[in-house]
Amino acid sequence: MAATGRSGSGIAAQTIGFVFDGRRMQAQTGDTLAAALVANGVGLVARSFKYHRPRGILATGVEEPSALVTVGEGAHAEPNVRASDVFVYDGLVARSQNAWPSLRWDVGAINSLAAPLIPAGFYYKTFFGSPARWMLYESVIRRAAGLGLPPTVADPDAYAHRSAFCDVLVVGAGPAGLQAAAEAAEAGRRVILIEQDAVPGGSLARETVTIDGQPGMAWAQATAARVRAAGGRVLTRTTATGYWDDNFVTAVERRTEPGQPGADIAQVLWKLRCGEVILATGTIERPLVFVDNDLPGVMLAGAVRTLALRHGVAAGQRVVIATSHDDAYRTAFALAGIGAQIVAILDSRTAPQGAIIDAARNRFAVHTDARPLRALRKGMQVSGVEALVAGTRQRFACDCLAMSGGASPVLHLHRQAGGALDYHADRGAFLPGAGRQANRTAGAAAGVHDLSAILPQAVIADPLGAATAPQPGPVWRGEAPGKAFVDFQNDVTTSDLSLAQREGYVSVEHVKRYTTLGMGTDQGKTGAMVALAQIADGRGVALPEAGLTTFRPPYTPVTMGAFAGPMHGDHAGPIRRLPLAAAHDALGALWVPAGLWFRPRVYPHAGESIGTASLREARMVRASAGVVDVSSLAKFEIAGPDALRVVAAVCATPVEKLAVGRGRYTLMLREDGIVMDDGTLWRLADDRWLLTSSSGGAARMGRHLSYVTDILLDHPRAAVVDLGEHWAGLALAGPRSAAILADLTGAAVPAHMGLADAMIAGVAVRILAASYSGERAFEVHVPAHHAAPVFASLIDAVRAAGGGAFGLDAMDHLRVEKGHVVIGAEADGRTTPADLGLGGMLRKAGGFVGWQGLTRPAMADQTGRRQLVGLTAIAGGAINEGAMLVVREGDEPLGHVTTAAPRVAGEGSIALGLLVDGRARYGETLFAWSPTRRSYVRVSVGPPLFYDDEGARYRD
C-alpha cells in the first residue's frame, strides 16, 4: 500500500497534524484515522489478538475488526478505538497496541510460528487444574493475548444522560433513513434521526450518484436540513447501541472524538422512547475467505471505494478486485477515477451479466469463475494474489487487494427488538422478518439496494446503473494450505471451525465459545455470516439450520463513563443530608455513611481516636445527658376512622388497648414470620397513630404500609403519610434529661412511653418519652425547617448539665449494653421474634402480617434455632463483629457475633450474638473466632442484657 497523496474529493478540507506511533503525519479535516493512515502510506496498523499477525485497515465503518489503536494520551487515552471510527482532530495522538517492543518487531509474533500449537480450545485443553493454577495461567494469558491497556487514572471526561421521546425514531441517515425522517417530520410527527457517522449520507459517501440534480452527499445534507426545519432532531456521531422493550432505544452521542480533551461533555447517553422505529442501518460488507486474507493491503472493496470517493485516497496504485457480486465493480471505477490501476477483477461467478459488467469489461481485465486462493506477501504487506481462474492457478501482482464476499444487512437492532429473520439463499443473507415491536426496516438493511426503489419520487442519475443485491462469496474448502480467517479480531480461521466440528462442537453456540468466533469487541460484524456459511457447509446443512448466535447490545462498545453519566463520585449513590448537617459540622462531627444518609459518627476532641471519643460520649450519657440526631428514622402517620385496622395488620404486638398519648415498642413481620423491622407505635389521637421504624428500612416500610392498606385491607378509610423527612428527631438521653427538658419546655415531661406537645425555643415540638440507651430519654420531633433553633437550645442545655452531642457509635455502645436489636445486625432477615427473645410480645390472636409464617414447625419449635445472647470477653481482648462462635478453633460455628462494643458501665468487651440454642447455653464458655482478623477470644454466654437489669434507670 504505497499510496500517498490525494485526488480531488471535491471537499474543501484543511490540513491538520496528528501522530501515529511517534510519527508526525498530516491529515485533512473530515478524515477518519483510517483514511489518514492510508493516505500517509501506513499499511501496518495493528497486531492481531492471538497470533500477533500484522494487520492493516480492513473496513471504513464501525465494523473494523483489525485496526484497533489507542487514541489520546494520559488520562484521556482510549484503548481499542477502531481507526475507522475516529475522525482526526489537530494534535490527535494514536498508538498501536498489542505489540512489543514495536509494531514492526513484535516479539509476540512468535505465537504465529507456534500457531499450529495454539488451536481452537487451546486454553481449555492446556490450562486446567485447580483454581489456584488458573490464577497463574490467567496472568500469563492476559499478557500474551490482549487488546489495548485501560488508562490507570480516573477518566477526566464528563458524560451526560439525556432522555427524549418521539413519534418516529430513524436509525441511520443513509438515503432510506433520510427519506423516512423527512417524510415523517414534514407530516408533523416528532422525529429523531440518528447517524453514527459525522455527516449524513450513509452509502452515498461511496457512490457517484446524483439525486434530484445534486451530488448524493449534498442531497443528504439538504434532506437532513429539511428534517431539522420541520422540527426534527438530527443527531450525528450517535450510535444506537441497544433496542429494548416497548420501543426504548439507547444511543451514544460522541461530542468529542476518542482521546480528545477539552470539551464540556464528551459523550451523551440518549434514552429514547419511541412510538415507531425505522431501522435504516444499511449493510456490512463481508470478506472473502482465502489464505492470508488478513494481510495489510487486503481490504473490503466498499471500504476502498469510500476511501477513494469520500476521502480522495487511493488504497493502492495497482489493485486487484476480488468479488462475488456487482458491487465491487463500482470500486474499480472509483479507483480508476482517481488514477489507480486496476490489475484485474476476479469474479467468482461463472457468467455475471449486466450493464456494469459490460462497462467493466470494456475498461478492465475481468476474470470470471475466478477467486483468490492465497494473498502473497512482501514484508508486512500484500504484494499479489494467487487465484484460481477457471480451474487454473494464476498470480497477479498488486499493492492492494479489494475483496467482497457479499454483504450482511445490519439487523442487530431488529433482532434485539425480538424481530424474526428470513433467510434468502440467493443472497446468502438474512433479511428482516416480522418485527415484534413497532419497528420496521428500510433500505439496504431490508434488502432494497436500488436507489430508485428507496427514493421513488426522486430523479436518480447513476452513471453505473442501479445497484443490485449482493451475492455471497464461495465457501472455502481448504484449497490451499495456510490460515484463512473468518474472524479477524479473534484470529479464528476456517481450520478452527473444522477442528471444533471434528471435536463434536456442532451447535453454533458451542462453536462460538470453543473458538471465540464473534466474541471480540466487533462481535464478528464482518465475518460471522461467512463463518456460518463455513459451519453449515462443514455439516452439510443449509445455513439457517446451522443456527445463528444472539445479537446482544451494545451494537458497538460503549465507554463505561457513558453508562455512569453524572452519577459518579458523590453522586454514585445520592447522599442524603440531615436537616442539621451544618450544625453537626459546627460541632466537629465525623460523618459516617448509613445507607444513603450521612450521620455523625462521633464528635472527637482534638487528638482523640474514634474509639476513645465514642466511649467518652457513651459514658457522658450514662453520667449526665447527651443529644443524638435521629432524624433519619422512618416516621409514618396513619390517620382516619379505619387507622386501627392498618396498625393492627402491620404491627405484630397488641395495639388496640394502647391509650391516646401513649406508645410502645413494636415489631413488624414479613409474611414468612421473619422480623422485617422494629420501632415504636404512638397513639396521637383516637384515630391517629405515629409509627417509627428503622432508618435503613424506611423505603421498605413505606411500601409495606401502602401494600397492606391498598391491597390487603382494600382501601380502608385511613391515610398513611410518610413523614420521615418532615420531622427532624433529636434524642435526649441520660439521668439529667428529664430535668433539662422540663427546664427547656417549662412543663412537666411525659412519663416513660408517654408523649406530649411542647414548645422549645419558640417552636412547637412533639416529645416522645422512649429510651434506646437504657437511660431516661426523650425524642424531640420538630418540623425539619424549624429544627436548627431547637437543636441549638438542646445542645446548650445538655452542655450546661455536663453533657453534649453524641454520635452513632456511642448510641451503638449504649444499646448493646441494653440488648436492643438493630435491623440488619441482630434482625438479619433470618430471625423470628422468638429468636430475638421477643416472642412474648406478639398478639396471641394473630391477624397481623406474618402470623401464618410463624406457625411453621421450623419457626414455632425453638430447638436448634439461633437465638440472641449476650457475650462477655473473659480474659481480655476485644470481640470482633462477625466472628464465629465455636467450641474450639476449627469447629463448625454454632453462631456468630452480630455487634460488639466496649462496656460503657465498666470495662471490657461485650457483644450480642446469635447462637444455636443460645438461651440454653447461658453460662457456657465459647470462643469468638475470626480467622480473617486473626482473633480468638474466650467469651462467656449470657442473657443479652449487661446493664440495669430491672430497667430502673429509664422509668420515671
Partner 1 sequence: MTEMVVTPAAGLVALDLWHDTDHATAAAELGIALPGPGQALAPTLAPTQGMAQGMVLRVAPRRWWLDGAGFPATVPATTGVVTAVGGAWNRVRLSGAGWRDLLMQSGLIDAENPAFGPGSVAVTPLCHVRCAVHVRATAQCDVFVPRSYTEHCLSLWRGLGWHEVAPESGELREAAHLS
Partner 2 sequence: MLLIPCPHCGPRNQEEFAYERSVDSLVRLDDAPGVAMAALYARANLRGEDHEIWVHVQGCGQWLRLTRDRVTHAFRDVEAL
Contacting residue, 706, 721, 800, 830, with partner 2 by CB under 8 A: 706
CB of 788 to partner 1, least distance (A): 7
Q: Is 613 exposed, middle or buried (0-12, 13-18, 19+ CB in 10 A)?
A: buried
Query: Contact 370/388 with Cβ under 8 angstroms?
Result: yes
| 579: its cell numbers | 436537616
Q: Which does 295 bind (CB under 5 to 8 A by kind): partner 1, partner 2, none?
A: none
Residue 563's binding partner among partner 2, partner 1, none (Cβ under 5 to 8 angstroms by kind) is: none
Q: How far apart are CB 639 and partner 2 at their closest, in Å?
A: 16
Q: Of all helices (H) and strands (E), which one includes residue 182?
A: helix 175-186
Q: What whole-number distance in Å separates Cα of residue 670 and Cα of residue 793?
A: 40
Rounded least distance, CB 780 to partner 1, Å: 14
**Residue 597 binding partner per list partner 1, partner 2, none, with a CB distance cut-off of 5 to 8 Å that depends on partner kind:** partner 1
b/e map of 785-804 (b: 16 or more CB within 10 Å)? ebbbebbebbbebbeebebb
Does residue 849 belong to the site contacting partner 2 (CB under 8 A)? yes
Contacts to partner 1 by CB under 8 A:
158, 160-165, 271, 273, 566-567, 570-571, 574-582, 585, 597, 632, 637, 639-641, 687-688, 715, 717, 719, 721-728, 783-788
Length of the chain: 956
Q: Does residue 168 bind partner 2 (CB under 8 A)?
A: no
Do residues 899 and 889 make contact, with C-beta atoms less than 8 angstroms apart? no
Alpha-carbon torsion angle 792, 795, 799, 801, nearest 10: 110
Sorted by sequence, the CB contacts under 8 Å of residue 234 that are 6+ apart come out as 173, 181, 192, 193, 194, 195, 200, 224, 227, 228
Indicate whether 251 belongs to the interface with partner 2 (CB under 8 A): no
Query: Whole-number minimum distance, CB 631 to partner 1, in Å?
Result: 9
> Rule CB under 8 A: is residue 573 a binding residue for partner 2?
no
Tell me how far, at minimum, the Cβ of 710 lies from partner 2, in Å: 5
The reply to whether 273 sits near partner 2 by the rule CB under 8 A is: yes
Number of DSSP helices (H) and strands (E) in the chain, helices first: 25, 50
List the one residue from 84, 247, 283, 773 that touches partner 2 (CB under 8 A). Answer: 247
Cell numbers that stand for 467 in this block: 445497484
Site string for partner 2, 499-538 (x = CB under 8 A): ----------------------------------------
* 133 touches 156 (CB < 8 A): no
With 0-12 / 13-18 / 19 or more C-beta atoms within 10 angstroms meaning exposed / middle / buried, residue 334 is buried
Closer to partner 2 by CB, 715 or 888: give it: 715
649 touches partner 2 (CB under 8 A):
yes
Closest CB to partner 2 among 246 and 426? Answer: 246
Q: How many residues belong to the site for partner 2 (CB under 8 A)?
A: 25
Q: Which partner, partner 2, partner 1, none, binds residue 712 by CB below 5 to 8 Å per kind?
A: partner 2
Distance (Å, rounded) from C-alpha 682 to C-alpha 692? 8
Stretch that binds partner 2, among 350-358, 468-476, 826-834, 845-853 (CB under 8 A): 845-853
Q: Which does 605 bind (CB under 5 to 8 A by kind): partner 2, partner 1, none?
A: none
- If contact means CB under 5 to 8 A according to the sort of partner, which of partner 2, partner 1, none does residue 707 touch? partner 2
Q: Which of 133, 363, 571, 856 binds partner 2 (CB under 8 A)?
A: 856
Instruction: Tell which one of 127, 134, 137, 244 touches partner 2 (CB under 8 A).
Output: 244
As measured in angstroms, the least distance from the Cβ of 794 to partner 1 is: 17
Q: How far is the CB of 164 from partner 1 (least distance, A)?
A: 6
189 or 349, CB closer to partner 1?
189
Q: Which three cell numbers stand for residue 539?
A: 455439516
- Applying CB under 8 A, among 654, 839, 853, 893 the residue interacting with partner 2 is 853
Between 356 and 562, whose beta carbon lies closer to partner 2?
562
3-state DSSP: the chain helix, strand, coil percent, rounded to 5? 25, 30, 45
Measured distance CA(63)–CA(70) in Å, rounded:
17
Place of cell 406474618: 850
Q: Which C-beta is closer to partner 2: that of 242 or that of 804?
A: 242
Q: Sign of the C-alpha dihedral, residues 551, 528, 86, 409?
A: negative
- 689's CB contacts (< 8 A; 6+ apart) are 637, 638, 639, 643, 644, 647, 681, 682, 683
Q: Which does 89 bind (CB under 5 to 8 A by kind): partner 2, partner 1, none?
A: none
> 3-state DSSP call for residue 646?
helix
Shortest CB 917 distance to partner 1, Å: 43
CB of 582 to partner 1, least distance (A): 5
Helices 301-311 and 327-337 sit at what angle, rounded to 10 degrees? 40
3-state secondary structure 804-824: EECCHHHHHHHHHHHCCCCEC
Contact flag: residue 563 with partner 2 (CB under 8 A): no
Residue 686, C-alpha cell as written in the block? 383516637
Instruction: Name the one residue in this structure whose C-alpha cell is 436489636.
Output: 821
Q: Which is nearer to partner 2, 100 or 707 (CB)?
A: 707
| 656 is a contact residue toward partner 2 (CB under 8 A) | no
Q: Does 426 bind partner 2 (CB under 8 A)?
A: no
**Minimum distance, C-beta of residue 708 to partner 2, in the bound complex (Å):** 9
Beta carbon of residue 721, minimum distance to partner 1 (angstroms, whole number): 4
**DSSP letter, residue 297:** T
Contact between 418 and partner 2 (CB under 8 A)? yes
Give the contacts of 731 (CB within 8 A, at least 6 positions apart): 627, 628, 629, 630, 772, 777, 778, 779, 780
Give the shortest CB-553-to-partner 1 separation in angstroms.
Answer: 18
| By the rule CB under 8 A, 707 interacts with partner 2 | yes
Residue 703's binding partner out of partner 1, partner 2, none, with CB under 5 to 8 Å set by partner kind: partner 2
Report what 859 binds from partner 1, partner 2, none; CB cut-off 5-8 Å by kind.
none
Query: CA 672 to CA 660: how far, in whole Å?
Result: 31
What is the rounded CA–CA span in Å between residue 325 and residue 786? 79
Per the CB < 8 A criterion, the answer to whether 651 and 668 are in contact is yes
Calpha distance 686→640 (Å, rounded): 9
Taking the complex as a whole, how short is the minimal distance between the CB of residue 714 and partner 2, in angstroms? 9
Residues that bind partner 2 (CB under 8 A): 244-248, 273, 418, 436, 649, 671-672, 703, 706-707, 710-712, 847-849, 851-853, 855-856
